[in-house]
Amino acid sequence: MTATPPRSRLSLYLDLIRFNRPAGWLVLVWPTLVALWVAAGGFPGWHLLTVFVAGTVLMRSAGCCINDIADRGFDRHVKRTQARPITSGLVSVTEAALLGAALALVALALVLTTRWQAVAWSVPAVVFTILYPFTKRFFAMPQAFLGIAFNFGIVIAFAAVTGGVPGQAWVLWLANMFLVLAYDTEYAMVDRDDDLLIGMKTSAITLGRFDVAAIMLFFVACLALTAAVLVPLRLGWPLWLGLGLAAAQVLWHYRLIRTRTRAGCFVAFSKSHWIGAAIFAGVALGFALR
């Protein structure tokens, strides 16, 4: 029997940061870009666009390192995560920590090219990213904590453009909090049986038989709050088309998760970034044609 050739360090590191799963950073980048466009009143310029797209990818990658370090003891008991580089012993905790720190420092360097207010907001963003994995041990709705960590991109975007964080930024922040609660509860539904066995706390477990109804309410709240900020900007038919496409996807998500199958819930989660993409497309085109 032919032995499996050893994997390169680069291959393992790319696996660690989920390089082949862009959905994880796409769900972060679309709301951040919406915030950038709203704050700038249109295209924010190539510098800020580059900073926030690259920064989002880097921080998501750093977050994966932190998450896998924290969850290495749990991941070996979950079929979907047993082969992760740290859990399988192919990447050490020290290696992963150094990689995560390096990625976070590069992201910080990018933010340093913007306003000091954006840099200041980056500090709690990093803190919440580090703390999130540990909340799954004691907090009944760790997805809410994840939403706080994920949503700092919106706050930092406004700070980078305007030097402040106005009320509309916080409404968009809250809207995206509901979006994170929705799609990450779908994700938690995939592993619910395993998480119950190992004592992990998730929103899917906490919500129980009300999980599907709660997810739909989260989606509706997200769209309503998003519309409350965007409609007054008078972006015309592109915005309405974008919101309509996002709403249509929510209905599709219901069809995927209503029977609570692992496959259906995972597809819903993995395609959830298209909701943000539809909204951003409506915003970008609306500003371009206004």
Residue 151 has pLDDT above 50, yes or no: yes
Amino acid (1-letter code) at residue 181: L
pLDDT at residue 42 in the model: 96
25-47: average pLDDT = 96
Using a pLDDT cut of 70, give the percent of the chain over it: 95
pLDDT at residue 1 in the model: 41
The number of helix segments (H) and strand segments (E) in the chain equals 14, 0
- The H-or-E segment that residue 97 falls in is helix 93-111
pLDDT digits (tens, 9 = 90+) for 64-103: 888 888 878 766 766 666 678 888 778 888 998 999 999 9
Structure tokens at 149: 């960590």
Measured distance between the N- and C-terminal CA atoms of the chain, rounded to whole angstroms: 65
pLDDT at residue 78 in the model: 66
Residue 2 has pLDDT above 70, yes or no: no
Residue 127 has pLDDT above 80, yes or no: yes
229-244: average pLDDT = 97
For 8, 11, 12, 94, 133, the CA distances from 5, given in Å and listed in that order, are 9, 12, 13, 24, 32
Residue 193 has pLDDT above 90, yes or no: no
